[in-house]
């Protein structure tokens, strides 16, 4: 399993604040009482708690008292509770709800939309307008609408996931050179087909190599770093990144990998999270103040103890030209 040091969490604390209100049946609660309940976490002092509560109130998930330093429940909190979203802290892109027309499944959208749509609303989906006829346990039921406008824009969770985690792709790279028929858990014909591809890779390079292919536009480096880490490495390298996937970076110039930083702190400027929320954020992270969103996402980067292993592998690797298409047999991009 990937290793990481403890994070200073903020999104989960927004969830805790709302849970406190739900447990107190929505009663107005002093800011200091919230702070006392969260006092075991040193990074959450009263000013931090007050900023989190203020942001939640601005998003309609709670409300501030008219003149006291207190916060109470709002319709948004009760709706969150009714939809079963108050006690789950999952990435926005990981939980979905079905859109149905009669018995036909039209598609799925992030579950967050249950907080946005109501019976009678007109939405736009798959290039058409639909009227919401019912919200049921099996999904949102919709009917074609002749309306010339729509009331609600569905949310799709921002830019979505950044491909496979670098921990997985790094281990896939190691597995290419260690997998055997006995450890593959495959039937013999499947293993024979795969083994031919693995043999070609093992003949072209080793686990200590950094394979590369020259393209008309630049160089493709097979880092097996995962899309998110590859994006960071491309920003660090400068120039124009032509294509980034889970397995490679294609860039318009040659990269001097011997100078790659060895710590997440040194790479932090290139790893600063984008301003737009992504599908890997949770509902409660998305509803944090912008500064706290950046802090939490930066924490996830800084406290990850696996990234330096990937950086060390790439820095020490011998660059080896390989034929284009060598890794096309893999199911990942």
Tokens representing 315 are 């820095």
pLDDT confidence tier of residue 277, bands split at 50, 70 and 90: very low
Which is nearest to 200 in space by CA: 182, 220, 219, 177?
A: 177
- Per-residue burial over 277-306, b = 16 or more CB atoms within 10 Å of its CB, e = otherwise: bbbbbbbbbbbbbeebbebbbbbebbebeb
Tokens representing 56 are 């939640």
pLDDT of residue 275: 41
Which is nearest to 166 in space by CA: 243, 92, 249, 90?
A: 249
Across the range 305-309, mean pLDDT stands at 89
For the chain, percent of residues with pLDDT exceeding 90: 51
Q: Which helix (H) or strand (E) holds 131?
A: strand 128-136
pLDDT confidence tier of residue 276, bands split at 50, 70 and 90: very low
Render pLDDT for 11-35 as a digit per residue (tens, 0 to 9): 888 999 999 999 999 999 999 999 9
Sheet holding 128-136, edge to edge: 104-110, 96-101, 139-144, 128-136, 122-125
For the chain, percent of residues with pLDDT exceeding 70: 91
Which is nearest to 267 in space by CA: 298, 243, 295, 221?
A: 298
Q: How far apart are CA 263 and CA 111, in angstroms?
A: 36
Render pLDDT for 62-83 as a digit per residue (tens, 0 to 9): 999 999 999 999 999 998 888 7
pLDDT confidence tier of residue 327, bands split at 50, 70 and 90: very high
Q: How far apart are CA 309 and CA 262, in angstroms?
A: 9
H-type alpha helices, the chain: 11-23, 31-37, 46-58, 75-82, 166-176, 181-184, 188-204, 227-237, 268-271, 283-286, 290-302, 307-316
Tell me, what DSSP letter sits at residue 3? -
Q: Is the pLDDT of residue 122 over 80?
A: yes
Q: How far is CA 17 from CA 38, 203, 239, 252, 262, in A?
A: 9, 57, 44, 48, 38
Q: What is the CA 165 to chain-centroid distance, rounded?
A: 10
Across the range 276-291, mean pLDDT stands at 74
- pLDDT mean across residues, the chain: 86
More confident residue, 297 or 106: 106
- Domains parsed from the chain with CATH numbers: 11-82 (1.10.10.10), 96-144 (no CATH), 166-264+304-321 (no CATH)
pLDDT of residue 273: 57
Contact between 172 and 130 (Cβ < 8 Å): no
Contact between 109 and 117 (Cβ < 8 Å): no
pLDDT of residue 163: 67
More confident residue, 89 or 211: 211
Render pLDDT for 131-169 as a digit per residue (tens, 0 to 9): 999 988 678 999 999 988 888 888 765 444 566 778 889
pLDDT of residue 96: 79
Pick the range with the lowest mean pLDDT from 163-167, 211-215, 228-232, 294-298. Answer: 163-167
pLDDT of residue 305: 85
pLDDT of residue 160: 46
pLDDT confidence tier of residue 272, bands split at 50, 70 and 90: confident
Q: Is the pLDDT of residue 187 over 80?
A: yes
Render pLDDT for 168-184 as a digit per residue (tens, 0 to 9): 899 999 999 999 999 88
Contact between 140 and 122 (Cβ < 8 Å): no
Residue 169 phi, psi (nearest 5): -65, -35
pLDDT of residue 124: 87
Question: Residue 5 half-sphere exposure, CB side, CA atoms within 13 Å?
Answer: 10
């Amino acid at each position: 399993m990937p290793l990481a040091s403890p994070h200073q969490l903020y999104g989960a604390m927004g969830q805790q604040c709302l849970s406190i209100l739900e447990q107190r049946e929505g009663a107005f609660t002093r800011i200091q009482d919230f702070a006392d309940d969260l006092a075991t976490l040193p990074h959450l002092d009263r000013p931090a708690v007050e900023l989190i509560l203020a942001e939640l109130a601005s998003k309609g998930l709670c409300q501030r008292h008219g003149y006291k330093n207190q916060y109470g429940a709002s319709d948004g909190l009760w709706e969150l509770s009714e939809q079963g979203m108050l006690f789950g802290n999952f990435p926005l892109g990981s939980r979905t709800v079905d859109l149905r027309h009669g018995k036909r499944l039209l598609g799925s959208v992030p579950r967050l939309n249950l907080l946005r749509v109501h019976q009678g609303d007109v939405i736009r989906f798959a290039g058409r307008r639909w009227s919401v006829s019912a919200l049921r346990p099996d999904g949102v039921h919709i009917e074609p609408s002749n309306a010339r406008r729509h009331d609600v824009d569905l949310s799709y969770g921002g830019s979505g996931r950044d491909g496979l985690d670098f921990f997985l792709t790094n281990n896939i790279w190691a597995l290419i050179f260690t997998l055997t028929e006995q450890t593959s858990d495959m039937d013999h014909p499947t293993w024979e087909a795969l083994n031919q591809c693995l043999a070609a890779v093992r003949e072209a390079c080793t686990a200590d190599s950094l394979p590369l292919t020259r393209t008309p536009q630049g160089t493709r480096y097979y880092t097996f770093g995962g899309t998110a880490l590859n994006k960071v490495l491309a920003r660090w390298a400068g120039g124009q990144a032509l294509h980034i996937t889970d397995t490679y970076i294609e860039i318009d110039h040659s990269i001097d990998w011997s100078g790659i930083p060895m710590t997440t702190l040194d790479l932090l400027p290139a790893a600063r999270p984008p301003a737009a929320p992504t599908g890997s954020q949770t509902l409660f992270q998305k509803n944090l103040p912008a500064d706290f969103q950046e802090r939490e996402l930066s924490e996830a980067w800084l406290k990850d103890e696996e990234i330096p292993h990937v950086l060390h592998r790439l820095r020490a690797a011998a660059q080896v030209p390989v034929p284009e298409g060598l890794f096309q047999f893999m199911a990942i991009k």
